[in-house]
């Protein structure tokens, strides 16, 4: 492979300024993070059908990975359901899911079952019905100020 003088210079520069380049990239990411997030959300809204099609194709092509992911989610949910819940608590959980289904809503864990800082429980007081859009926006986030 024949490298031009420019290629040689760029490789040498990158090797000598690795930390400065890394720092600049991190700073730039933090500055543009919210803007990028808005652009991605807008793209997803404008290309919903295409995104859904791609997602279905991926799921069909990756059935074992999808099954493993679902099994992991069920396991987390089971492990997050405390043994001290009463029958009434279990009935209340079912009522929340039924109510959400009548509205076409998702059931969200206020404190996520597997968050970055905290892990919630699968209990009635940690569940809330959310529209699919709100739930996708919230994702796996937890805002301590909203709970306290």
The model's pLDDT over 94-120, given as tens digits with 9 standing for 90+, comes to 899 899 889 999 888 888 888 777 888
Q: What is the CB-side half-sphere exposure of residue 68 using CA atoms within 13 A?
A: 4
Q: What is the CB-side half-sphere exposure of residue 124 using CA atoms within 13 A?
A: 15
The pLDDT assigned to 114 comes to 80
Question: Over the stretch 36-64, which tens digit does the pLDDT of each residue have?
Answer: 999 999 999 999 999 999 999 999 998 88
Question: Over the stretch 4-21, which tens digit does the pLDDT of each residue have?
Answer: 889 999 999 999 999 999
The pLDDT assigned to 113 comes to 84
């Amino acid at each position: 492979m024949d490298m031009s003088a420019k290629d040689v210079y760029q490789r040498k520069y990158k090797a000598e300024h690795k930390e400065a380049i890394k720092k600049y990239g991190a700073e730039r990411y933090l500055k543009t993070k919210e803007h990028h997030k808005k652009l991605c959300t807008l793209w997803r809204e404008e290309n919903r059908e295409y995104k859904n099609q791609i997602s279905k194709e991926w799921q069909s092509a990756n059935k074992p990975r999808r099954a493993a992911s679902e099994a992991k989610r069920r396991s987390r949910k089971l492990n997050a359901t405390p043994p001290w819940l009463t029958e009434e608590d279990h009935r209340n959980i079912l009522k929340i899911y039924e109510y959400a289904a009548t509205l076409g809503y998702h059931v969200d864990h206020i404190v996520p079952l597997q968050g970055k800082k905290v892990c919630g429980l699968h209990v009635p007081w940690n569940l809330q019905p959310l529209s699919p859009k709100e739930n996708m926006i919230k994702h796996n986030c937890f805002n301590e100020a909203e709970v306290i």
